[in-house]
Amino acid sequence: MTPAPMDVKYLRDPQDVLRTALQWCRSGRAVALATVVRTWGSSPRPVGSNLVIASDGAFEGSVSGGCVEGAVIEAAKEVIETGQQRLLEFGVSNDEAWEVGLACGGEIEVLVEPVA
């Protein structure tokens, strides 16, 4: 049996997040960009995935499939205020992963930087 083709209207071009960052900056909004810079083990998003965050808390994109976005958004607000980039590390050990029904753990590093 051949799988049904995916409905492409639901697929997002990775450049959309960067376009959003540019649009928000041009409209005068203070913005930070979060980028996955390293992964190990199980990771919901690959290196290069982006999340753009405005100072008012609006955001577009994803760096983790939802599990650490809240922490990244809070860090981004601080980055916007201070103008200083931050490197965030998140991880789940293999034992912790097994306890919640995942096959293995993993780690991601996310660089959050101001966009000028």
Positions of the chain with pLDDT lower than 70, given as ranges? 1-14, 94-105
SS3 62: coil
Residue 4 lies in a domain: no
Domain span at residue 97 reads: 14-23+30-115
| CA distance linking residue 75 with residue 63, whole number of Å | 13
Could you give the C-alpha distances from 63 to 7, 13, 22, in angstroms and in order?
23, 14, 18
Residue 63 lies in a domain: yes
3-state helix, strand, coil in the chain (%, to 5): 30, 30, 40
Residue 8 lies in a domain: no
pTM (predicted TM-score): 0.81
Residue 6 lies in a domain: no
Under 8 Å between Cβ of 22 and 45? no
Q: How many domains does the chain have?
A: 1
- Residue 112's Cα: distance from chain center in Å? 9
Residue 84 lies in a domain: yes
Residue 66 lies in a domain: yes
Residue 2 lies in a domain: no
Residue 104 lies in a domain: yes
Q: Other CB atoms closer than 10 Å to residue 41's CB: what's the count?
A: 15
| CA distance linking residue 86 with residue 112, whole number of Å | 5
pLDDT of 44? 81
SS3 68: coil
- Percentage of residues in the chain with pLDDT exceeding 70? 77
